[in-house]
A and B are shown apart, each in its own frame.
Chain A
Amino acid sequence: MADMTLTHEQQKLQALAREFTAKHIIPVASEWDEKGEFHKFILEEVKNIGLHCMAVPKEYGGPGCDSVSQSVVMEQFGYGCCAFATTLGGNGLSSYPLAIAGTDEQKQLYYGRLVAGGMGGFALTEPGAGSDAGSCATTAKLDGDKWVLNGTKCFATTCGVANIMVVFASTDPSKGVKGLSAFIVEKERDGFSVGAVEHKMGIRSSNTVELLLKNVRIPKNHLLGNEGEGMKIAMKTLDMARPIVASMAVGVAQRALDAAVAFAKAYLDVNGKPIGMQQAVSFKLADMAIQVEAARQLVRNALRLKDAGVPYTKEAAIAKTFATDTAMQVSADAVGLMGNYGYSKDSFVEKLMRDAKVTQIYEGTNQVQRIVIAGQLLR
């Protein structure tokens, strides 16, 4: 059923993404979760419908989807598998720094690879720099007409298979946060290698790796924006990305709700009636639905502000916090409501509960979101 609050175009994309999810993601999600291997083949399929690089503008060969459209699609992908959605979300995320600070030449390079089907990555986090992204130890030094990068990045989504990425490094460690800069690094550069692979509790088929940079030489014009603008670019990137993570979380929560509703209709209580007819159960389902719908509308609200070109930092952080908390709560409630079946691998909801947890952590923990929100309030 079409969502009438969306434009005609958005409705069409939603239907396309829903169909894709049902056909290509849902049937394989459990198997790939179990294996914990990267789901490359789904990516091949998603390219066929042109939804692998939604954020790339039309003039660079992408579909140039507006933010609400991207969100609507990502909610569907999140519904199918949060790991797969994370891969595509991360791909989009990696391209936002270009939209923020890229020159035409840089965009040609970066978007070009994504449009051709390559994957992008975004490497900000380091072992010693998580929430405190500014305390970056990776350095970039100018040597003639090349930047030379040295350091270790971690928790880099898709970077084990990506062929181009945005890497943050300090061009002036004495300046702290103000010394941070952003660079485009292609996978084939000498000195670039992939280190340890993270084995995670959830989103197991998303690829999360360590990146090792040893005297990686990249052209001077691979610097995004100016020296020292890295933090600004990272923060703007995360503003753009948070409602997308939130959209995936809404998808996870909606999946959990749907599973719980189906269970409540089918599972019979001691009196032989569906448990959904018991108020203790039906009210719980209603509570879950309240949260899911509120989360979805908060996300759409943030993105409409963004598409309207007005400030939306606070709303993006609010949406991210609420939607990911909702994914956590609703998936845990679904497992509880479905009892032993929900807890078993026979159901999908135990995966949702493992996947949901990471959404409260990445792209800024929900504590960091509060720092952002409070910062806006107390300005």
Chain B
Amino acid sequence: MSYALTEEQQLIQQSAREFTREYIEPIATEMDRTGIHPSAVVQQMAEHDFLGLYLPEEFGGTEAGYLSYVLIIEEISRMSGAVASILINHASLAAYTMYRFGSAVQKQECLPALCSGEKLAAFALTEPGAAPGVGSHKVIATKEGDHYVLNGHKCYVANGGVADIYVVFALTNPEAGAKGMSAFIVDAKAAGLSIQRTIGKMGLRGCQSAELIFENVMVPQSNLLGAAGAGMKIVKEAQLVASVAEGAQVVGIAQAAMEDAVKYGKQRVQFGRPIAAFPAIQTMLAEMATHIHIARLAVYDAASLIEKGEDFMKEAAMVKLFTGRIGQSALIDVIQIEGGYGYSQEMIASRFYRDIKGAVITESSAAFPEKVIADDLLA
């Protein structure tokens, strides 16, 4: 790896590696089995300053930069994609949205608690059956005096039910459809906000997903995040920022899976030699190593752009597009290399196979990678 990481970045990477070994490795398998949110690990992440790593010091963050942050995501993902998802939803989606689009007062009020770990955040966009703001369960925010009143359903909200604070997207102008969407900061304890159910997932189990019901939830006007009607623009930017972290998640999972396949391939003997000696196996390994390497460079590059405050949308979308393809195929090949044994629920490869699919699923249509890239090319 020749990508020039600074000494500080290397130290952060190293500490995330140790963190993962100490706090995540012992619980990762059990967490996958139970699907229970690992609150102790989240507290440890807070103590290690991971939760606000890239946010400015003035808001309680560490100001170590977005690249350092994705290095942590990559390390954590080598053991648990689920813990990485908890962090991404907290830091790249919810906290990022508040940091980028919040008023000075909102930032002062919310971010320090998110950086310290006093509060965990979530990003509530998705709705059942249709794109947000479109279907019959859409969340509508009706203005009443100095409050908005929210009604509707959100689903697949990661950290849902365990978060203390939600960034919620709701229609302030229902006639305009999805274009009339706005973002709000909503306290999890707000009256009328309830958790309908948690949702079972194929993988990333432990990063709890929930369905939220809003029944006349009163939200002060001062909790409107960004301009009224700016929802789609906010979603696009936040999801693309998160895409880069998800790219790091894919790289981390795929790297760990590949290392597992290498180890297995060296020790599994068939036809009198280690299977890693067969060109067919070597080709699979060589291709995934190449893909992971290129993906990692693209992730670091896009993270650097975000860190420097430069245009990053196209590069972030490229990360999403590329890691989506290569992450999936890497895990299909890893299990293939490990044969019938790799297919066992008890082998780590089968968890990685399920987890990586969650990491590569596309964000909403606002941030559709092909569309974002093509729009940029054709502008």
Contact = CB atoms under 8 A, between A and B. Distances in A.
Interface in A320-378: 328, 332, 335-336, 339-346, 350, 353-354, 357-358, 360-362, 365-367, 370
A353 B350 CA distance: 12
A307 interface: no
B273 to A, nearest CB: 10
Nearest to B232: A270
Interface residues of A, number: 46
Interface stretch (A12-20, A161-169, A193-201): A193-201
B343 A200 contact: yes
Contacts of A336: 324, 328, 357, 360-362
Contacts of B278: 367
Interface string A135-157: 10000000000000000001100
Contacts of B375: none
A370 B336 CA distance: 14
A346 B198 CA distance: 11
B280 interface: yes
Interface in A183-208: 198-202
Interface in B326-340: 328, 332, 335-336, 339-340
A252 to B, nearest CB: 15
Nearest to A332: B328
A340 B128 CA distance: 10
For the residues of B in contact with A, the DSSP-based class is: mixed
A132 interface: yes
Given A270-B134, A271-B177, A344-B201, A155 B340 contact: yes
Contacts of B346: 199
Interface string B106-141: 000000000000000000001001111111000000
Contact of B353 (A131, A357, A365): A357
A344 B134 contact: no
A266 B128 CA distance: 11
A342 B361 CA distance: 9
B12 to A, nearest CB: 30
B172 interface: no
Contact of B361 (A129, A198, A270, A343): A343
Contact of A131 (B135, B339, B371): B339
A335 B202 contact: yes
A268 interface: yes
Interface of A: 125, 128-132, 135, 154-155, 198-202, 266-272, 280, 328, 332, 335-336, 339-346, 350, 353-354, 357-358, 360-362, 365-367, 370
